[in-house]
């Protein structure tokens, strides 16, 4: 996100303020009606979200930010994490059923190779639910055909981990590849980190 804010010449603190206002508390009225949550549930189209976000942001020199293509520019600098991709491949090859559960900001996913990595793919905007709502975890468990107690959620957002744990899923807060790989090896009792 910082790379995108530099590219679009945005004061990154304005973006942080907008996200803080919109995400707020994960319960109650604010969470139900904020643009990020509406986008992630598929209730708002990407161009409408881009207009809302662009209104909240200005460039460092005060010029308005063009809304068209804003989400694509934001995520255009994201890079794949080869270590994590390898970890998922090794986990699945070892017999662990795998799922991708993602809150989406549109449908810009490059899905090449997903069929080799995941047994199930759940994208929030495609199912009308989002993390940390219990319904999306239940939906993913149903798709996997597994119970909560037999599953582990790896996520980089503590609120998502907390919501999954409340349903009986084991949570792993992803901060580094090394920490996540070690925790998964401990939980599943098999080598997964690779070389």
Question: In this model, does residue 133 exceed pLDDT 70?
Answer: yes
Burial class (CB in 10 A: 0-12, 13-18, 19+), 146: middle
pLDDT value, residue 165: 97
How confident is the model over 85-91, as a mean pLDDT? 95
Domains and their CATH numbers in the chain:
2-75 (no CATH), 82-188 (3.40.50.1000)
Question: In this model, does residue 33 exceed pLDDT 70?
Answer: no
How confident is the model over 146-163, as a mean pLDDT? 96
Query: At residue 191, what are phi and psi to the nearest 5 degrees?
Result: -75, 130
How confident is the model over 31-36, as a mean pLDDT? 68
Whole-prediction pTM: 0.78
């Amino acid at each position: 996100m910082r790379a995108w804010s530099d590219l679009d010449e945005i004061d990154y603190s304005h973006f942080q303020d907008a996200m803080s206002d919109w995400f707020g508390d994960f319960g109650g009225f604010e969470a139900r009606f904020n643009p990020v949550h509406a986008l992630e549930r598929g209730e708002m189209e990407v161009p409408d979200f881009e207009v809302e976000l662009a209104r909240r942001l200005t460039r460092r020199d005060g010029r308005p930010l063009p809304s068209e293509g804003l989400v694509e520019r934001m995520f255009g600098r994201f890079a794949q994490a080869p270590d994590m991709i390898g970890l998922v491949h090794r986990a699945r090859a070892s017999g662990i059923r795998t799922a991708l559960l993602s809150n989406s900001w549109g449908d810009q996913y490059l899905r090449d190779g997903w069929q080799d990595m995941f047994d199930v793919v759940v994208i929030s905007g495609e199912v009308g639910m989002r993390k940390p709502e219990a319904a999306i975890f239940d939906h993913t468990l149903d798709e996997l055909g597994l119970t909560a107690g037999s599953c582990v959620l790896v996520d980089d957002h503590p609120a998502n981990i907390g919501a999954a744990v409340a349903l009986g899923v084991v949570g792993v807060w992803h901060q580094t590849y090394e920490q996540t790989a070690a925790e998964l090896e401990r939980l599943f009792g098999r080598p997964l980190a690779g070389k």
